[in-house]
Amino acid sequence: MSTGVQHTPPVTWATQVRSDDEALPQIEQRWRDLYDRSATATPFQSFGWVTAWWRHYGQPGGLRLVLVWRDDELVAAAPLTVSPNWRRPVWRPLSAGQSDFTDVLVDDRYADEAVDHLVRALLEQPGWHALDFPEVPPGAAVDLLARRWPRDVRRMPSSVCLHLPAGDTAAFLSRFRSRPAGKIRTRLRRIDSHRLDVTRVPADGAAEAVGDLLELHLGQWRGRGVNREHTRARFRDMLAEASTAMIRDGQAAIVRYRRGEELVASDLLLIGRDFVGAYLYGSDPSLRSGMDVSLMLLRYDLQLAHDLGVPRLSLLRGQEEYKWKWQPTPTRNHRVILCRSAVGGLYAATAHGHARLRAYKQRRVAAANGGGGADA
């Protein structure tokens, strides 16, 4: 005889650690769904960015994709790779070297339980000594992972990122006193006098646009110490593949500036849930003699962020002098190292010493530019 009482089936939790080359493509839609449910996710954890990086930078056998499932739903994911260090394996996030923010994905609805399962899955894996997240932004999911980590955790200052509130030109000018605001208006009129045509690139034109952007970027830095990685084919190919996917998904934009038929500048922006990030730009060196190129880019980027309804434009990592003149707000990333063994602790202690020296140098740079230090 039925009592009419309905019993809810018990929830089943499961974890996986995958190292096969097909792991990422096989969970593409699950990854995208989890990304949408993770409030702390940034474009550097998007499927398009992570998979493009793995395709062009990953080493065979080096993938460690740690997954947590609640029934058949993916609720946490840590995309990691083996990075030999001190002749002892250290695990790092995929794309760490090319990403301004490193994190894991965690479903907000089940964050505590999902992270507990993620911790256990990581500790059960043999053969590694430290898990190194080099650029953890404030409020990242890694912070929850670190709080629940039962062994040694080392947290140290990393890069400073600079941010501006999104807005139109009037809102931007309102942040300055009358005299500097007047000088900026004069520079804007000079920019407008060049009558540049500004357009956004569709997804099917992203690969070509990335090649043009990098050519401009390398030209502007020639003779001034360009980042060597930006000269390599693998970086170009990774960026082209990632940009194509991310523009299609609304997670990136490539903006082109033309003077007549001539391409004179290009800007790659990454679009997150609460920021637009200025990742990489290039400009013809001759353009600098007639205008303030950084202001030209900044005006469009701020307006785009405003139009998309996100609160801020991030200038991402770096404290270059041209960034400080716009009176940005600094925040500091942190490097978080989760130790699994005594060898991992020694690795973390050495990294901490290097971080203290770097933070001291950054504070001196910020003070010299009148920006003050970022929050520690």
- The model's pLDDT over 347-375, given as tens digits with 9 standing for 90+, comes to 989 888 887 776 677 677 667 765 544 44
Report the alpha-carbon distance of residue 259 to residue 31 in Å, rounded: 41
68: helix, strand or coil: strand
- Residues of the chain with pLDDT > 90: what percent? 82
Q: Examine the pLDDT at 235 and tell me if it is beyond 90.
A: yes
At 284, the pLDDT band (50, 70, 90 cuts) reads very high
More confident residue, 290 or 51: 51
Judged by average pLDDT, the poorest of 20-34, 222-236, 263-277 is 222-236
Report the alpha-carbon distance of residue 198 to residue 192 in Å, rounded: 11
- Residues of the chain with pLDDT > 70: what percent? 94
- Region 254-273: mean pLDDT is 97
- Region 74-80: mean pLDDT is 98
Q: Examine the pLDDT at 5 and tell me if it is beyond 90.
A: no
Residue keyed to tokens 């890069």: 159
Q: Cβ distance 80 to 122 under 8 Å?
A: no
Smallest CA-to-CA distance from 98 within 250, 269, 279 is with 279
Residue 8: per-residue pLDDT: 72
- Residue 49 has, within 13 A of its CA and on its CB side, a CA count of 26
Average pLDDT, the chain: 92
b/e string for 63-75 if b means 16 or more Cβ within 10 A?
bbbbbbbbeeebb
* Cα distances (Å, whole numbers) of residue 89 to 41, 129, 272: 26, 6, 32
Tens digit of pLDDT for each residue in 143-182?
Answer: 999 999 999 999 999 999 999 999 999 999 999 999 999 9
Q: Examine the pLDDT at 4 and tell me if it is beyond 70.
A: no
- Region 335-354: mean pLDDT is 91
3-state DSSP helix/strand/coil percent for the chain, to nearest 5?
45, 25, 30
Residues paired with 164 in a beta bridge: 313
More confident residue, 370 or 135: 135
Residue 369: per-residue pLDDT: 60
Q: Examine the pLDDT at 224 and tell me if it is beyond 80.
A: no
Neighbour tally for 349: CB within 10 Å:
13
Report the alpha-carbon distance of residue 207 to residue 261 in Å, rounded: 19
Report the alpha-carbon distance of residue 124 to residue 176 in Å, rounded: 55
Report the alpha-carbon distance of residue 86 to residue 19 in Å, rounded: 22
Tens digit of pLDDT for each residue in 115-127?
Answer: 999 999 999 999 8
Smallest CA-to-CA distance from 356 within 162, 161, 151, 155 is with 155
Tokens of 38: 């993770």
Neighbour tally for 317: CB within 10 Å:
18
Q: Examine the pLDDT at 85 and tell me if it is beyond 90.
A: no
Neighbour tally for 101: CB within 10 Å:
29
Judged by average pLDDT, the poorest of 56-60, 71-75, 129-133, 287-291 is 287-291
* pTM recorded for the entire structure: 0.92
Q: List helix spans (H) across the chain.
A: 23-26, 28-37, 47-57, 111-124, 141-147, 169-173, 178-193, 206-221, 233-248, 293-308, 321-324, 342-368
Residue 359: per-residue pLDDT: 66
DSSP 30-58: HHHHHHHH-TT--GGGSHHHHHHHHHHH-
